[in-house]
Amino acid sequence: MMAPALFVGFLVFAFVSMATPGPNNLMMMASGVHFGVRRTLGHMAGVSLGFGAMTFAVGLGLAGVFARAPWLYIVLRYGAAAYILYLAYKMATAKGVGSAVTSAEPMSFLGAVAFQWINPKAWVMALGAITTYAEPDHLTRDVALMAATFVLINIPCGLAWTASGAAIKRFLKRGGALHVFNAVMAGLLVLSLYPLITEPLGAPKRPPPGVIIDTPRASG
């Protein structure tokens, strides 16, 4: 078991990261507005399980691949930015109640799982958590615990964002409120690219402990 103090610190990090605005939460809120909570359940499940699976994969070696082939990381960064800008454009120009997914159907479970791999906030969260809180001597155990914890914490957070979207739906039928909502959500989605601007352009120089043996563990 992870040291209690370390685990508490990780819980705070995980909750704050999951509860604050980012591409996943903004898209689930928009889906809640457009489709309601029930039809967004697959999207929510895909976000939770997809991010958990991504965290596990990153912690057990994928970060090492990026360290050896930095160009892959750069391609991922710019590909993610381009796709999220496209989603923001779709949201801003939507004629119906705002959704960054499609005009007819909510994002599917598999679509939400796949989206985690190009979500910049997801990468920052996964790499940050593992390099900060995982213990080198118990890497597999700690990474598995973190992945499972992320899944559990994301369930109520995703539900809250989706439900908040569904709750305000009736107010968006008045005048230009819908257009304002779409524009604001699109703008926030663009702002969610902030990690791509503030983080170094190259691949992480310090991948998770244990991925590259001769690389020291990050301490914060």
Give the chain's length: 220
Q: Per mean pLDDT, which range of 72-81, 83-92, 107-116, 139-148 is the poorest?
A: 72-81
Span 173-201, mean pLDDT? 70
- Determine the Cα angle at 72 with ends 69 and 78, to 5°: 145
CB-CB contact of 45 with 111 (8 Å): no
Is pLDDT above 90 for 105? no
Q: Tell me the C-alpha distance between 199 and 196, whole Å.
A: 6
Percent composition of the chain: helix, strand, coil (DSSP 3-state, to 5): 75, 0, 25
Q: Tell me the C-alpha distance between 115 and 155, whole Å.
A: 17
* Mean pLDDT estimate for the chain: 79
CB-CB contact of 109 with 42 (8 Å): yes
Please state the pTM of the whole predicted model.
0.73
- What DSSP state is assigned to residue 22? -
Q: Tell me the C-alpha distance between 9 and 133, whole Å.
A: 8
Is pLDDT above 90 for 149? yes
Q: For the chain, give every domain's residue range.
A: 26-198
Span 192-202, mean pLDDT? 60
Largest CA distance in the chain: 61
